Chain A
């Protein structure tokens, strides 16, 4: 039930953001629905990022991932407006615009996901290098202050096991 509520709230937020953006960008749509195209490409890029952050790097909790991926981005992007929009263009004799819209959506969507994944991997790498640099500095500072301390790994691991139970 908590999971359905997360998806509901995320979907509501995403759909509202989409409505506001489409309303703001309505002036772009004289040749083809460029506003819908932009919304879908932004959503595909961000979902590519979230996939890497959650499923590859393990940085997002399951509830956060559900809220963002299934809720917000699922609600923000839309396939029905896209499909119906192509039919409308074809029906009004604007087949070239329909074809451009279709190809830009599919090729652009795939590229946007791939770019989002690459950007997130880059960001995770930066975070990891930053964290490592901080730990190394702290380690060097500790050695200066306390000298070489012999660490009993066996007892630390035993403590960790107890803590996880």
Chain B
């Protein structure tokens, strides 16, 4: 792990976290419900984009290591979040909102898996052209 790769992760992670903050506030100002919609949309779209990126840029190619570090490990890793997802699930449960707890915890994963499969499929379409 070279200093350049670490710098790419730092810059990408900072940019991804800033985008998550922006999207979270944008959604929070427009959606008044109890479901953690911002985190859900962020995590599902991040799964799609990571599958697309990782399928297009194989980790074995040394020339694109820094790009994968910047966009994948950095930006998409920093954009999506597991800790907030888990915290929001627990807070929904503590509020007695059990239906939304399950919907958030399992719905995020189900949608994330479908989104990642879709990202990989789109990558196959692109490379086939």
Contact = CB atoms under 8 A, between A and B. Distances in A.
A103 to B, nearest CB: 10
A16 B6 contact: yes
B51 A84 contact: yes
Contacts of A77: 81-84
A81 B116 CA distance: 10
Interface string B1-45: 100011001111111111011101000000000000000001100
Interface string A30-71: 000000000010011011100100000000000000000111
Q: What's the dominant secondary structure at chain B's contact region? A: helix
Interface residues of B, number: 55
Contacts of A23: 1
B83 to A, nearest CB: 4
Interface of B: 1, 5-6, 9-18, 20-22, 24, 42-43, 46-47, 49-51, 54, 69, 73-74, 76-87, 89-91, 93, 105-106, 108-109, 112-113, 115-117, 119-120
Interface of A: 3-4, 7-16, 18-20, 22-23, 40, 43-44, 46-48, 51, 69-71, 73-84, 86-87, 91, 102, 105-106, 109-110, 112-114, 117
9 contacts: A3-B21, A7-B17, A12-B78, A16-B10, A19-B1, A40-B82, A40-B86, A80-B76, A84-B50
